[in-house]
């Protein structure tokens, strides 16, 4: 192999090793594929198909564990209110206490306002004056952004 050919190969791989942005647009993605095909054909001509595949694998990014990707993907799908609701809903008995958890249930979070459905309309009048106490208790027992307000609603009063 001539020295100039070796340097050309090194230049190819130097450009390929650069870190690409996390999100590629379609034009850049097609360019990346075209460059990879050119490198593969160049290596295949020099080393043969088997060695060309080995060299391409050696200079390609390593696989990423899917557990590292899922939080980023899910963060893009759900907004802050959905995350708050899921956290509150799954831990409702722990956050509010067993007696009140049997009479109430969280229905939604909208603009950081927590809507809590009560089992009976008469409970609205009894629990409404204590909404600030419940809100303070919920916010102190959970991490993340706090709810700004708690509203009690009658059964079926809040739509998801």
Residues 145 and 85 in one domain: yes
Q: Is residue 39 part of a domain?
A: yes
Q: Return the CATH number at 92.
A: 3.30.300.20
pTM of the model: 0.53
pLDDT (tens digit per residue) in 36-81: 888 889 888 988 988 888 888 887 776 777 777 777 777 666 678 8
Structure tokens at 156: 């079926």
Q: Is residue 160 part of a domain?
A: no
How wide is the angle at C-alpha 48 spanned by C-alphas 45 and 54, nearest 5°? 115
pLDDT tier at 22, thresholds 50, 70, 90: low
| pLDDT at site 106 | 92
pLDDT (tens digit per residue) in 137-150: 999 988 888 899 99
Looking at the chain, the whole-number percentage of residues with pLDDT higher than 90 is 13
Query: What's the N-to-C CA distance of the chain in angstroms?
Result: 69
Residues 97 and 145 in one domain: yes
Q: Is residue 149 part of a domain?
A: yes
| 103: nearest Cα among 129, 128, 123 | 123
Q: Is residue 74 part of a domain?
A: no
| pLDDT at site 32 | 80
Q: Of 14, 32, 62, at which residue does a domain stop?
A: 62
Residues 96 and 147 in one domain: yes
CB–CB of 96/103 below 8 Å? no
Q: Is residue 57 part of a domain?
A: yes
Residues 48 and 84 in one domain: no
Residue 123: domain span: 80-153
pLDDT at 128 over 80: yes
- The structural domain count of the chain equals 2
């Amino acid at each position: 192999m001539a020295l100039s050919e070796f340097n050309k190969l090194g230049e190819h791989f130097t450009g390929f090793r650069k870190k690409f942005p996390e999100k590629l647009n379609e034009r850049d993605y097609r360019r990346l594929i075209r460059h990879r095909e050119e490198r593969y054909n160049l290596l295949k001509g020099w080393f043969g198909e088997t060695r060309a595949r080995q060299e391409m694998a050696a200079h390609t990014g390593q696989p990423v564990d899917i557990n590292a990707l899922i939080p980023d993907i899910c963060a893009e799908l759900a907004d802050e209110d959905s995350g708050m609701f899921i956290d509150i809903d799954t831990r409702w008995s722990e956050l509010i206490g067993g007696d009140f958890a049997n009479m109430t249930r969280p229905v939604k979070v909208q603009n950081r306002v927590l809507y809590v459905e009560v089992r009976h309309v008469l409970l609205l009048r009894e629990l409404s004056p204590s909404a600030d106490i419940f809100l303070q208790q919920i916010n102190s027992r959970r991490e993340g952004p706090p709810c700004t307000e708690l509203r009690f609603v009658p059964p079926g009063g809040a739509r998801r």
